Amino acid sequence: MRPLTPRRILGMCGLLCVVLFVAVVIALRMGAYPISISDIVMTLFNGVLGRKEQIPSEFWLVVFGLRLPRIALAILVGAALSTAGAGYQALLRNPLADPYVLGISSGAALGAIVSLIVAPHTPGAIQLAAFVGAMVTTAVVYFLGRRGGQLDSPTLLLAGIVAASFLSAIIMFLMTTLSGRDLRGMAFWLMGDLSTPSSIDSRWLYIVLIVAIGCIYTTSSDLNLILTGEQEARHLGVNVNRVKLVVYVAASLLTGLAVSVSGAIGYVGLLVPHVMRMLFGTDYRLLIPASAIGGAIAIVIADTLARTVVQPTELPVGAMTALAGAPVFIYLMRRGVR
């Protein structure tokens, strides 16, 4: 097997970035108002150079006003969920772990519903409350998952499953108190929705994304050793408890960030890391950035299909990822059994 050098890591990530760029161009082209690829390229080129007067007003509105912000949000959500999934799978040493197993998404959804009941017309309340709910759930599950003063992976997993079940029950109860219009909107949001732009400046969202992914990436070499066994990693000088804490907090932060702006989009954090392992191997120095870019590609494609398959009606993004993800998951499971 070829050694994993920084040059090879950059090469593989560059190849994925090319695929992501192609997916973005296709997403910009498709929709109720189709635009040719040449017009898209010229619109983007003139927009980057600040020559707005050379761009037809309808192209500017469709590309920069409607589709590009949504694509940017899809990239953010996909990268966050996939990186979080890769982190949880290493943390728990469980290939079935994903950002929703530990109840983080249920905590975010509960916060969103509470904000809709308490402050239904406050701008940004849903996003802020969802993020706070995710962080509170992270703290509770973390303390429940400690055993003997240390973070125990099986106990953490069980605590997350119990928390997710309990929070889901509360969500179902609160959903019955919503009016018809709010109930429909919240149900759509819970299935994953990128049609509503976030009221939070996307630059801050991307800063949080980069910092959290960077924190997980700093532990990539240690994660490779932990996968061989925690005791063996300790003998090799790895501070296992510190690595677990960093990965858990950063992955939970990414999950809360994604759910707060898009709702619950399933299967991405579970399947994308699996696909990246099949393509590039299990070394986390490559797997983490590859999962981030691969997740962005997956959500951009899923969102494009969600808004074009049954025009003019839009489907929830989570429905598209579930339709595509369930068969892929069954295939991977059967492949692993064989």
pLDDT in tens, 89-105: 888 777 777 777 778 88
Radius of gyration of the chain (CA): 20
Structural domains in the chain plus CATH codes: 29-337 (1.10.3470.10)
**pLDDT tens-digit readout, 248-288:** 889 888 888 888 888 778 788 888 998 898 888 888 999 99
If DSSP codes are grouped into helix, strand and coil, which group holds residue 212?
helix
- Position with higher pLDDT, 50 vs 303: 303
> Which segment, 146-150, 189-193, 306-310, is predicted with the most confidence on average?
306-310
Tell whether the torsion through CA atoms of 99, 105, 108 and 112 is positive or negative. Answer: positive
**pLDDT tens-digit readout, 161-175:** 888 889 888 888 887
Percent of the chain with pLDDT over 90: 17
Q: What is the Cα–Cα distance from 70 to 243, expressed in whole angstroms?
A: 34
pLDDT confidence tier of residue 318, bands split at 50, 70 and 90:
confident
Check pLDDT > 50 for residue 16. yes
If DSSP codes are grouped into helix, strand and coil, which group holds residue 201?
coil
Residue pair 109/190 in contact (Cβ under 8 Å)? The answer is yes
Check pLDDT > 50 for residue 337. no
**pLDDT tens-digit readout, 48-63:** 777 777 777 777 777 7
Q: What is the Cα–Cα distance from 75 to 175, expressed in whole angstroms?
A: 29
Extract long-range pairs of 18-25: CB within 8 Å, 24+ residues apart: 19/297, 20/75, 20/293, 20/296, 20/297, 20/300, 23/297, 23/300, 23/301, 23/304, 24/71, 24/75, 24/300
Q: What is the model's pTM?
A: 0.86
User: Which 8-state DSSP code applies to residue 178?
Assistant: S
* Average pLDDT for the chain: 82
Check pLDDT > 80 for residue 293. yes
